[in-house]
Amino acid sequence: MYEAILAITKIDEKLAHNKKSYFPAVDYGRCVFCGLCVDACPFYALEMTNEIELSDTDRRSLFYSPKKLAKPGVRGPPAELGWFDKLVTALRG
């Protein structure tokens, strides 16, 4: 399947309680740090920072799954959006 942003793919976490269990996975080996994925994210779940460390001995370790992308201390799927977040998401797209 053709992906608009080649560094981002969707992987199925197979959550039983959630119909839409596809979350982004980032391949930093292909990322050019353009920020398009941050702009396209409907939940403001991705952000760009100046902290970049890409040195590694294995290319596969540059592939970040949703669990690896989560901030420290975050467990489980994202919470349901509140009314304000739903409004912002609707106006954004």
Distance from C-alpha of 47 to C-alpha of 57, rounded to nearest angstrom: 25
Domain ranges of the chain: 8-92
Phi/psi region, residue 32 (left: phi>0; alpha: psi -120 to 50; beta: rest), is: alpha
> Which pLDDT value is given to residue 1?
39
Give the model's confidence band at 82: pLDDT under 50 very low, under 70 low, under 90 confident, else very high. confident
pLDDT tens-place string over residues 20-65: 666 777 888 888 888 888 887 777 777 888 887 778 888 888 888 7
Q: What is the DSSP letter of 47?
A: -
* pTM for the full predicted model: 0.54
> Which pLDDT value is given to residue 25?
79
If we measure between CA atoms, which residue out of 45, 36, 49, 44 comes closest to residue 91? 44
